[in-house]
Structure 1
């Protein structure tokens, strides 16, 4: 429908939409328009190829100026998601990891429940040509994928955002049990701090057998620790245990550690 009724309430809430290395300004603009159509307003860009601001994006947004004007640009994905409590990664390709995979309707209802409980959430969308890397998917808590024709599964980024935005709006009237308010969901900043700590202490103790296997092993650790959706309190307990183990084994020789991946 062309045009906008300026007398009606402008809906602007919900999960942040995060585009990783988007290429064309027109695609960013169409994403902003799709978001505005269905009540989303927070758009984050990670290293947009043609820089920002981008007049082609504004033109393609078709008056979704409130989305374009509020765009935030980040140098890396870690910074873009640091303040979020829960993240979905969109992908059409099978992934070798431990993450739960949901459809768009189920994922959107979950996002509604988290939003109602005060959590900050986001949805990752990859590059136009080849999507998200395994490392980027590993930074999310769960995966959302679309029921598409297996012989023609590719969606452009604006289509993918449109589908998720529509499901977000559609789920607005459905009752979903809220999450427990008594505990604070961990942000990506808390998790990244834990991963940096694990990287250091495991490297010191020879957990990573060879340098070429370390990225995959770290991806597996990220998958393990993001899947349960830890709270701040739980991460504090876990880190306290690990620090205690490190403190009281100072003389343990650095050698090859036997682990489940052997």
Structure 2
């Protein structure tokens, strides 16, 4: 998607420069680059924010725009989410991070995600300026999220669809190599079971059957190429050579 379709991150009255920098890092992890600040407590620019942003994420801070009020920070925004665990007395749709970002992706205009100050979060006057609320389902015995964590959660829900596909997971077939079939894996398991039996590994006898079962189950979980199987046979032959 075009960069101007990515959500704008608005931090309302942030209190610590370190949290602003950490939020910038969380944004860039998932391809979000536009941050707006409303009345930051310690002013702007803030060297502590730059230090925390660390490297590439500093470019997010290079283009930060600062506004005196949230109303002014909504410039160009057509739809806004307020992240809060409160404000439900205001009649607004309430979303999880996942459903909120589904709405954001379907929206044709500019979308903003609004985060409140670290100590108390958004006030109802702030929430009233949003179209909808986002509430993170967390442990009710400890519902506190810091600012950067909240930004990271929203960024992840945006980025997991918008960002490039993830790398191939470990265990996927190496390029150009054939995977061993189940018969080859069975023969490898037989070879190891034979040699381990000769070495007295399956002891005591009362546990031997379960040990064999667990070993066989281990082989079945491994993703092995035919080359891997040959190496494992060869290793065992060398180790057991008299």
Normalised-by-shorter TM-score class: 0.5 to 0.7
More helix by share: 2
Aligned partner of 1:82 among 67, 75, 80: 75
Question: Do structure 1's residue 69 and structure 2's residue 62 form an aligned pair?
Answer: yes
Which whole-Å CA distance do the structure 1 matches of 2:140 and 2:123 have between them?
Answer: 20
What is the match of residue 161 of structure 1?
151
Question: Do structure 1's residue 132 and structure 2's residue 122 form an aligned pair?
Answer: yes
CA displacement, residues 183-203 of structure 1 (integer Å, 9 cap, x when unaligned): xxxxxxxxxxxxxxxxxxxxx
What is the match of residue 100 of structure 2?
107
What is the match of residue 36 of structure 2?
44
Measure how far apart 1:13 and its partner are. Answer: 5.8
Which whole-Å CA distance do the structure 2 matches of 1:163 and 1:153 have between them?
Answer: 14
**Structure whose CA Rg is larger:** 2
Residues 97, 136 of structure 2: 8 Å contact kept: yes
Q: How large is the RMSD of aligned CA atoms in angstroms?
A: 1.7
Residues 109, 171 of structure 1: 8 Å contact kept: no
Residues 112, 171 of structure 1: 8 Å contact kept: no
TM-score relative to the length of structure 1: 0.59
What is the match of residue 151 of structure 1?
141
Residues 13, 42 of structure 1: 8 Å contact kept: no
Measure how far apart 1:12 and its partner are. Answer: 8.2
Residues 16, 122 of structure 1: 8 Å contact kept: yes
Which whole-Å CA distance do the structure 2 matches of 1:133 and 1:171 have between them?
Answer: 31
- Hey, which bits of structure 1, 4+ residues long, moved more than 6 A? none
Structure 2, unaligned runs of 5 or more: 164-242
Residues 5, 111 of structure 2: 8 Å contact kept: no
Cα 1:129/1:51, change in 2 over 3 Å:
same
Aligned partner of 1:17 among 9, 13, 23: 9
Structure 1, unaligned runs of 5 or more: 1-10, 174-262
Which whole-Å CA distance do the structure 2 matches of 1:153 and 1:17 have between them?
Answer: 22
Which aligned pairs between 1:229-240 and structure 2 lie closer than 5 A?
none
Residues 78, 111 of structure 2: 8 Å contact kept: yes
Give the secondary-structure state (helix, strand or coil) at the position aligned to 2:31: coil
Measure how far apart 1:65 and its partner are. Answer: 1.8
Which whole-Å CA distance do the structure 2 matches of 1:141 and 1:69 have between them?
Answer: 29
TM-score relative to the length of structure 2: 0.64
CA displacement, residues 145-170 of structure 1 (integer Å, 9 cap, x when unaligned): 10100110010110000000000001
